[in-house]
């Protein structure tokens, strides 16, 4: 008996002509998951307006099965961090992420969610949500167009489609020792503490060319 | 709109004891403003809102200004006796102006379609005497803006019913919009820093010792 996935292509085609479809259970499962991604219904700044535009009739995110914006993190698969994350808001964003059930994904939408954007050197804006939670897809732009959000969603769908649950390359969240939830930062006297989660993100090293 | 001098005289006549000062603005485009002492600010504000010729019923903007202590040097001529002869000397006189904080209100009248009248309140200094009168009882829209000024500049508003920080969190120390605010050293690497950011980069990553 051949292992699943290594079925002869000719035999598979012949069977499908006869009305018998042979797929791996993993593929079927991923196919179902990728076509019903439920995003968490929350927006932080102007990028959220573009996210709303993407969900309306003109761009219509429901073509990709992601129109069910859930108001509760318990029912959501995808967190779209759409906008500026202030330091005051960061603990709540991390807490919402912790409250989402696995499997869960994060899209960082726009310059602010990726790096702090134009507010990076300010006193009250987080320099990127990837300091606390793992980000799957980042969308550059200020703000990104709805098409860019759709592109990110399709990118995420491709990733979900190729996810493995066993074998040599399982999904990162299934790895042994992967954290179930991420530490929520505290609001300190001048900054949030810690300023980043070293297990998720490390500051880039300065390379001097002198 | 009546001239500011006339407005000031009427306000002083209406509110006994109020001391109002017309503060000129160095910028040619900006109109001069009216400075009121915090003790009578609320009464003057009620007058500005209810006076039938003014009806300033809308506070479009409330903001804070930080004026740190400045030392200006001015040249002055001094006469002195030298060997029985009076001679003139040029000396440099240092003028020290103590620091203070200001809350500035921009007032318009929706009813009479006029404005703005700019009202200022000044604190005694920047550390201890930082209390001015809250004008939220007169203009409800000033509530959040006074909270923001309290948060970012540290002016306390006497009579504000809910004076909490607005943008920063409870437990945050300092007032970020003050000129002498020292932010935490949280710079991280950028490929092309410039201007102020480059200065931050140099401070954060001191140059390696020459080998």
pLDDT in tens, B107-132: 999 999 998 899 999 998 888 899 99
A125: distance to nearest CA of chain B, Å?
10
Binary contact (A121, B196; C-beta < 8 A): yes
Q: Which residues from A are below 8 Å from B189, CB to CB?
A: 203-206
How far is A159 from B209, CA to CA, in rounded Å?
A: 46
Residue A135 — pLDDT band, cuts 50, 70, 90? very high
Q: Kindly report the backbone phi and psi dihedral angles of residue B93, in degrees, each rounded to the nearest multiple of 5, phi listed first.
A: -105, 130
Place of tokens 């006994």: B16
- Chain A, window 175-194: residues with a beta carbon less than 8 angstroms from a chain B beta carbon: 187-191
Query: Smallest Cβ distance to A127: which of B170, B183, B188?
Result: B188
A90: distance to nearest CA of chain B, Å?
12
- Chain B, window 82-111: residues with a beta carbon less than 8 angstroms from a chain A beta carbon: none
Give the pair of three-digit tokens for residue A183. 């530490």
Please count the residue pairs, one from chain A and one from chain B, whose beta carbons lie less than 8 angstroms apart: 42
Q: What are the CB-based long-range contacts (under 8 Å, 24+) for A114-119?
A: A114/A138, A114/A139, A114/A140, A116/A84, A117/A84, A117/A142, A118/A142, A119/A84
How confident is the model at residue A206, as a pLDDT?
67
Instruction: Give me the mean pLDDT over the A52-65 stretch.
Output: 92
Binary contact (A204, B188; C-beta < 8 A): yes
Q: How many Cβ atoms from other residues are within 10 Å of residue B197's Cβ?
A: 14
Q: Which residues from A are below 8 Å from B183, CB to CB?
A: 123, 190
How confident is the model at residue A8, as a pLDDT?
83
Nearest CA in chain A to B204: A206
Place of tokens 């001391």: B19
Q: Which residues from A are below 8 Å from B187, CB to CB?
A: 121
State percent of chain A over pLDDT 90. Answer: 61
Close Cβ partners of A140 (under 8 Å, ≥ 6 residues apart):
A110, A111, A114, A148
Q: Which residues from B are below 8 Å from A189, CB to CB?
A: 171-173
The answer to whether A153 and A61 have CB atoms below 8 angstroms apart is yes
Q: Is the pLDDT of residue A92 over 70?
A: yes
Q: Is the pLDDT of residue B146 over 60?
A: yes
3-state secondary structure of B33: strand
First-to-final CA distance of chain A? 62
A157: distance to nearest CA of chain B, Å?
31
How far is A42 from A69, CA to CA, in rounded Å?
A: 9
Closest CA to B154 of B125, B183, B182: B125
Interhelix angle for B4-14 vs B41-50, to 10°?
110
Residue A2 — pLDDT band, cuts 50, 70, 90? very low
- C-alpha angle A189-B173-B154 in degrees, rounded to nearest 5: 160
Predicted-complex ipTM score: 0.77
Nearest CA in chain A to B171: A189
Q: Is the pLDDT of residue A157 over 80?
A: yes
Question: CA A75 → CA A100, A187, B49, distances in Å?
Answer: 7, 28, 52
The answer to whether A139 and A149 have CB atoms below 8 angstroms apart is yes
Burial B17-31 (b: 16+ CB within 10 A, else e): ebebeeeeeeeeeee
How far is A110 from A118, CA to CA, in rounded Å?
A: 11
Q: Which residues from A are below 8 Å from B171, CB to CB?
A: 187-189
The answer to whether B133 and B42 have CB atoms below 8 angstroms apart is yes
How confident is the model at residue A152, as a pLDDT?
95
What is the per-residue pLDDT across B192-204, written as a single tens digit (0 to 9) for each? 888 888 888 888 8
Close Cβ partners of B120 (under 8 Å, ≥ 6 residues apart):
B23, B33, B34, B35, B36, B102, B103, B104, B105
First-to-final CA distance of chain B? 71
| Residue A3, CB-side half-sphere exposure with 13 Å CA sphere | 1
Binary contact (A88, B188; C-beta < 8 A): no
């Amino acid at each position: 008996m051949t292992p699943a996935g290594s079925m002869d292509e000719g035999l598979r085609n012949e069977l499908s002509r006869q009305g018998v479809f042979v797929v791996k259970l993993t593929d079927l499962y991923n196919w179902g998951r990728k076509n019903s991604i439920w995003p968490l219904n929350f927006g932080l700044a102007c990028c959220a307006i573009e996210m709303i535009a993407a969900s309306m009739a003109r761009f219509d995110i429901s073509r990709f099965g992601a129109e069910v914006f859930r108001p509760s993190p318990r029912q959501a698969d995808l967190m779209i961090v759409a906008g500026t994350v202030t330091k005051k808001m960061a603990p709540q964003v991390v807490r919402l992420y912790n409250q989402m059930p696995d499997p869960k994904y994060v899209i960082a939408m726009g310059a602010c969610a990726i790096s702090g954007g134009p507010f990076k050197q300010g006193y009250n804006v987080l320099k990127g949500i990837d300091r606390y939670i793992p980000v799957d897809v980042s969308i550059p732009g200020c703000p990104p167009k709805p098409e860019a959000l759709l592109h990110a969603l399709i990118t995420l769908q491709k990733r979900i489609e190729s996810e493995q649950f066993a074998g040599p390359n399982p999904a990162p969240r299934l790895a042994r020792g992967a954290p179930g939830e991420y530490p929520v930062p505290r609001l300190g006297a001048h900054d949030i503490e810690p300023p980043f989660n070293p297990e998720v993100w490390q500051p880039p090293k300065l390379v001097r060319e002198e | 709109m009546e001239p500011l001098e006339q407005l000031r005289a009427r306000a002083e006549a209406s509110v006994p004891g109020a001391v109002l000062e017309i503060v000129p603005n160095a910028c040619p485009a900006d109109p001069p403003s009216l400075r009121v002492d915090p003790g009578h600010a609320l009464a003057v504000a009620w007058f500005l809102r209810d006076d039938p010729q003014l009806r300033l019923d809308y506070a479009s903007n409330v903001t804070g200004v930080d004026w740190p202590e400045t030392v200006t040097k001015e040249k002055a001529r001094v006469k002195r006796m030298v060997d029985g002869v009076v001679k003139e000397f040029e000396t440099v006189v240092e003028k020290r102006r103590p620091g203070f904080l200001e809350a500035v209100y921009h007032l318009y009248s929706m009813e009479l379609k006029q404005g703005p009248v700019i009202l200022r309140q000044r604190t005694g200094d920047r550390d201890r005497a930082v209390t001015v009168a809250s004008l939220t009882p007169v203009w409800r829209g000033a509530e959040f803006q006074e909270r923001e000024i309290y948060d970012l500049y540290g002016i306390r508003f006497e009579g504000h019913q809910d004076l909490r920080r607005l943008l920063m969190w409870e437990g945050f120390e300092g007032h970020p919009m003050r000129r002498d605010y020292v932010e935490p050293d949280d710079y991280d690497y950028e490929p092309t820093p410039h201007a102020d950011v480059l200065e931050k980069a140099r401070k954060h990553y001191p140059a390696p010792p020459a080998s």
